């Protein structure tokens, strides 16, 4: 989510991010490159982490003392949301092969997704001390500064009934703005995905609206002119991220009025990994991205510290694809005020 400067000094920027891009799938082995490893990397590229895990596990049987293969196994566990297993095998990789920056970055990614930014940060700093060139890497620098950014480093209880106090700020739309006018813009490069995207956006607004007990309502409008919320979908990653940060594959830009209430919002969601990608994203992660971005447009600046909540700062495999009780009571409180 990015809140754009308005006619007043009310500029702040932030955005969901995740460390995954930093995670190196090391291709080093201590022997001849095995076919299963090559296949593994191919599966990683296609984001089929279950199959990739099979391949790396087979390779590890062949080379049981390869720290690099252990690391690849750990990366797959990370992507599959099996954090305990990821930590265990990464630790083993460190024991066997000594400390490498790539292992530290994997560890950082695990802790970031577990919602433990302080631990994530210390692993990233360790990566920089193990390999000083890391400290000069703009991706690492960006990840470190994002982890230090309060919007991505929410504090507060993981178990309280809501996470209002973890947000950097919040302000709901005014009553007079209801029902919110929402326009879903057809991307003429990828018209075929319009219906799907429309229904994802509808589903997202419905979930949040129901959670507010009707305080939030919306209607779709035919024209972008005068819409409160404009929703775009794209296959160009550069529109939703910078410096190769992956994350919730979306961004929300918001104009804020003088009284801090939302003025207008623009959601952009990445629905395909580049124009050349064979398939559209689908399933829970895409649903989560839409739900998350719609949450921002309803006036939440910041994130939940609990990785089960939709408003956690990163998309996690097996994470929420519908609102948690904490998401619901947070939005309800915002609109009770």
Minimum CB–partner distance for residue 251 and Zn ion (Å): 9
Single out the segment in contact with Zn ion by CB under 5 A; choices: 13-21, 47-55, 75-83, 317-325.
13-21
Nearer to Zn ion, 211 or 311 (CB): 311
Give backbone dihedrals phi and psi of 169, rounded to 5 degrees, phi first: -165, 165
Minimum CB–partner distance for residue 2 and Zn ion (Å): 10
Structure tokens that stand for 238 in this block: 């550069």
Single out the segment in contact with Zn ion by CB under 5 A; choices: 14-22, 39-47, 255-263, 277-285.
14-22
Going by C-beta distance under 8 Å and a sequence separation of 6 or more, which residues neighbour residue 203? 287, 290, 291
Q: Which DSSP string do the residues of 78-139 spell out, in sequence order?
A: HHTT-HHHHHHHHHHHHHHH---HHHHHHHHHHHHHTT-HHHHHHHHHHHHHH-THHHH-HH
Given a contact cutoff of 8 angstroms between Cβ atoms, the answer to whether 19 and 316 are in contact is no
Burial of 86: CB neighbours in 10 Å, binned 0-12, 13-18, 19+: buried
CA trace torsion 268, 273, 278, 279 (10° rounding):
-50
Minimum CB–partner distance for residue 1 and Zn ion (Å): 5
Minimum CB–partner distance for residue 169 and Zn ion (Å): 13
Of 28, 190, 184, 12, the closest CA to residue 103 belongs to: 28
Single out the segment in contact with Zn ion by CB under 5 A; choices: 16-24, 40-48, 151-159, 260-268.
16-24
Residue nearest to Zn ion (CB): 16
Question: Cα 205–21–200 angle (5° rounding)?
Answer: 15
Minimum CB–partner distance for residue 303 and Zn ion (Å): 6
Nearer to Zn ion, 56 or 208 (CB): 208
CA trace torsion 175, 287, 281, 267 (10° rounding):
20
Minimum CB–partner distance for residue 153 and Zn ion (Å): 13
How many whole angstroms separate alpha carbon 238 and alpha carbon 23?
19
Going residue by residue from 198 to 237, which x/- string records binding to Zn ion, judged by CB under 5 A?
Answer: ----------------------------------------
Of 3, 9, 16, 204, the one binding Zn ion by CB under 5 A: 16
> Could you say whether residue 167 binds Zn ion (CB under 5 A)?
no
Minimum CB–partner distance for residue 234 and Zn ion (Å): 17
Size of residue set near Zn ion by CB under 5 A:
1
Nearer to Zn ion, 134 or 252 (CB): 252
Nearer to Zn ion, 126 or 167 (CB): 167
Minimum CB–partner distance for residue 193 and Zn ion (Å): 22
How many whole angstroms separate alpha carbon 171 and alpha carbon 257?
10
Taking CB under 5 A as the criterion, which residues in 258-287 touch Zn ion?
A: none
Nearer to Zn ion, 2 or 92 (CB): 2
Nearer to Zn ion, 16 or 127 (CB): 16
Given a contact cutoff of 8 angstroms between Cβ atoms, the answer to whether 299 and 331 are in contact is no
Minimum CB–partner distance for residue 252 and Zn ion (Å): 7
Burial of 188: CB neighbours in 10 Å, binned 0-12, 13-18, 19+: exposed
Nearer to Zn ion, 87 or 246 (CB): 246
Nearer to Zn ion, 16 or 101 (CB): 16
Nearer to Zn ion, 87 or 288 (CB): 288
| Residues within the interface to Zn ion (CB under 5 A) | 16
């Amino acid at each position: 989510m990015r809140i754009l400067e308005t006619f007043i000094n009310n500029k702040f920027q932030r955005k969901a991010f995740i460390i995954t891009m930093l995670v190196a799938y090391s291709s080093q082995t201590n022997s001849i490159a095995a076919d299963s490893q090559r296949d593994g990397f191919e599966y990683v590229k296609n984001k089929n982490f279950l199959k990739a895990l099979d391949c790396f596990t087979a390779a590890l049987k062949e080379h049981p003392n390869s720290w690099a293969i252990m690391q690849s196994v750990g990366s797959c566990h990370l992507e599959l949301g099996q954090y305990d297993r990821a930590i265990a095998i990464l630790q083993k990789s460190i024991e066997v092969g000594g400390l490498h920056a790539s292992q530290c970055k994997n560890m950082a990614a695990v802790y970031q997704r577990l919602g433990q930014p302080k631990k994530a940060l210390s692993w990233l700093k360790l990566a920089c001390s193990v390999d000083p060139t890391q400290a000069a890497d703009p991706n690492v620098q960006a990840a470190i500064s994002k982890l230090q950014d309060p919007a991505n480093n929410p504090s507060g209880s993981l178990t309280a009934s809501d996470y209002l106090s973890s947000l950097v700020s919040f302000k709901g739309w005014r009553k007079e703005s209801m029902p919110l006018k929402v326009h879903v813009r057809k991307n003429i490069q990828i018209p075929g995905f319009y219906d799907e995207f429309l229904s994802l956006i509808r589903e997202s607004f419905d979930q949040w609206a129901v959670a507010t007990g009707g305080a939030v309502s919306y209607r779709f409008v035919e024209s972008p002119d005068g819409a409160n919320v404009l929703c775009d979908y794209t296959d160009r990653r550069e529109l939703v991220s910078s410096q190769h940060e992956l994350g919730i594959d979306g961004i929300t830009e918001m104009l804020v009025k003088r009284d801090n209430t939302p003025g207008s919002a623009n959601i952009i969601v990445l629905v395909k990994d580049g124009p050349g990608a064979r398939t559209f994203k689908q399933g829970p992660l895409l649903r989560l991205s839409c739900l998350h971005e719609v949450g921002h447009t309803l006036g939440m600046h910041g994130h939940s510290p609990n990785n089960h909540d939709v408003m956690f700062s990163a998309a996690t495999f097996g994470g929420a694809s519908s609102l948690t009780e904490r998401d619901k009571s947070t939005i309800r409180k915002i609109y009770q005020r």
